[in-house]
């Protein structure tokens, strides 16, 4: 289990009603950002372990410039009209704010707290 942080246009993020981020918008943001790359399969190995985690998703992006990308994945997952990151650190939160600005959205945690600048 972990704590998810969402790039969303919904208020709050868990509402079914509200504007959604489309796959076209998400794809365009990833394509325009040199820090991000779309990946079909993302892999990461937990520290000190050989067995890695494999995650498959059509609209998954990875922050390739993240300093701990190989250990923790640095994955941004588009699903159901919003982008979700599990347990993001400060580097990912900053990137999420940048993405949210480009999408006209906000960054909001599982508990409803906003990560706006």
Those residues whose C-beta lies under 8 Å from the C-beta of residue 6, and which sit 6 or more positions away, are 13, 82, 83, 84, 85, 107, 108, 109, 110
Does 103 reside within a domain? Answer: yes
Prediction pTM value? 0.83
Does 85 reside within a domain? Answer: yes
E-assigned strand segments in 4-81: 4-8, 36-44, 53-63, 75-79
Does 88 reside within a domain? Answer: yes
Does 115 reside within a domain? Answer: no
pLDDT tens across 99-111, in order?
999 999 999 999 9
Would you call 82 helix, strand, or coil by DSSP?
strand
Report how many domains make up the chain.
1
Does 25 reside within a domain? Answer: yes
Domain that holds residue 29: 4-109
pLDDT tens across 44-69, in order?
555 555 555 655 567 899 998 888 87
Does 117 reside within a domain? Answer: no
Does 58 reside within a domain? Answer: yes
User: Which structure tokens are listed for 106?
Assistant: 């906000």
Contact criterion met (CB below 8 Å) for 115 and 5: yes
Model confidence at 93: pLDDT above 90 = yes
């Amino acid at each position: 289990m972990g704590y998810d942080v969402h790039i969303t246009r919904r208020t709050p993020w868990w509402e079914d009603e509200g504007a959604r981020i489309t796959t076209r918008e998400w794809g365009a943001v990833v394509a325009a950002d040199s820090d991000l790359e779309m990946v079909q399969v993302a892999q990461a190995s937990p520290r000190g372990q050989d067995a890695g985690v494999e995650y498959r998703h059509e609209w998954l992006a990875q922050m390739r410039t993240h300093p701990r990308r190989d250990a923790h994945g640095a994955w941004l997952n588009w699903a159901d009209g919003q982008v979700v990151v599990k347990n993001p650190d400060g580097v990912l939160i900053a990137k999420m704010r940048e993405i949210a600005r480009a999408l006209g959205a906000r960054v909001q945690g599982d508990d409803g707290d906003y990560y706006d600048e």
